[in-house]
A and B are shown apart, each in its own frame.
Chain A
Amino acid sequence: MLAAAAAGLLLLGISLAFYWVPNAPVEGFRQRIFYIHVPVALTAYACFFWAAWKALRLLWTRDQRYDLESYTAVHMGVIFGVLTLVTGSIWARTSWGVWWTWSERQLVLFLVLFLFYSAYFMLRYSVDPGPRRASMSAVYALFGVVLIPVSFLAIRLAEGLIHPVVFTHDVGDKLSTSQLVTFGVCFAGTLALAGALYVNELTGKRLDERLSELREALS
């Protein structure tokens, strides 16, 4: 269901982004990356918040099934985070001719988050499975969503300081109706995609766990 919705919405969204929306006044054709880059980034945030919500539920109820759910959500968040970095890098290349720029807030923030959540995986791999690992991972996932606004603030503060040149897109300006519709469809599509992947991955991880239990019981 979710997968079908994701496929449909994304196909529709991409067609809209390529064939329906008019070129942006200043940026021209290259502005169309917006319709994939920003929805993917917002979806990554959504995944991280979902992970933190599940982490909070785990610490609240001590119900161990939330551990796998939180872990899977972080996993999806990192996939979408990497996509944000790559599409953002391409956007930087078309706009300013460089593959990386420290003056693009979103991009820098995602680099910090990527490092942070990579350490989450290191933490999980380095602790034996059990309730202790579940609650430590949950605490770390919670720190992640607090780090997002704090880092964002820090990056804004740093901009004026270290890299005084600030580039601007015209996406910050008001979006036209057609732009808004295209963006909405694409965002719904990436969200549905993340949801479908999340459900799939969660089932797979649970299956893995059950199988090892079965193996233990049989041996």
Chain B
Amino acid sequence: MTSAERYVTAAYLVVLAVVLAYVVIYAFKLSRLEREVGELAELARRKKEEVA
């Protein structure tokens, strides 16, 4: 690989890396959202029991 080839490849890989990083951050966010939904579902269930 010439140095030009290396730099060009690096430029494309950087874009890929940023997109992947975004996906990873989004995965963390999704798991947080899942946990929060779980907590809220639990909260709603308990409220319902209290009323009953």
Q: Do chains A and B touch in the complex (CB under 8 A)?
A: yes
A residues at B contact (CB < 8 Å): 14, 17-18, 28-30, 32-33, 36-37, 40, 79, 82-83, 86-87, 90-91, 93-94, 193, 197, 200-201, 204, 207-208, 211, 214-215, 218-219
Q: Are B37 and A83 in contact (CB under 8 A)?
A: no
- Nearest chain A CB to B50's CB is how many angstroms away? 12
Q: Are B26 and A218 in contact (CB under 8 A)?
A: no
Q: Return the contact of A91 from the options B5, B11, B15, B29 (Cβ within 8 A).
A: B11
Cα separation A206 to B41 with both chains bound (whole Å) = 18
- Nearest chain A CB to B48's CB is how many angstroms away? 11
Q: Are A79 and B18 in contact (CB under 8 A)?
A: yes
Q: Return the contact of A211 from the options B30, B33, B44 (Cβ within 8 A).
A: B33
Q: Are A82 and B18 in contact (CB under 8 A)?
A: yes
Q: Return the contact of B40 from the options A33, A37, A201, A218 (Cβ within 8 A).
A: A218
How many residues of chain B get a CB closer than 8 Å to chain A's CBs?
24
What are 24 A-B pairs at a CB distance below 8 A? Answer: A14-B12, A17-B12, A18-B8, A29-B2, A29-B5, A29-B8, A32-B8, A33-B11, A37-B11, A82-B18, A83-B15, A86-B14, A87-B15, A90-B10, A197-B22, A207-B33, A211-B33, A211-B40, A214-B40, A215-B40, A218-B40, A218-B44, A218-B47, A219-B43
What 5 A-B pairs are tightest by C-beta distance, nearest first?
A30-B4, A94-B7, A29-B4, A90-B11, A87-B11
Q: A33-B8, A93-B7 in contact; A218/B14 too (CB < 8 A)?
A: no
Cα separation A90 to B7 with both chains bound (whole Å) = 7
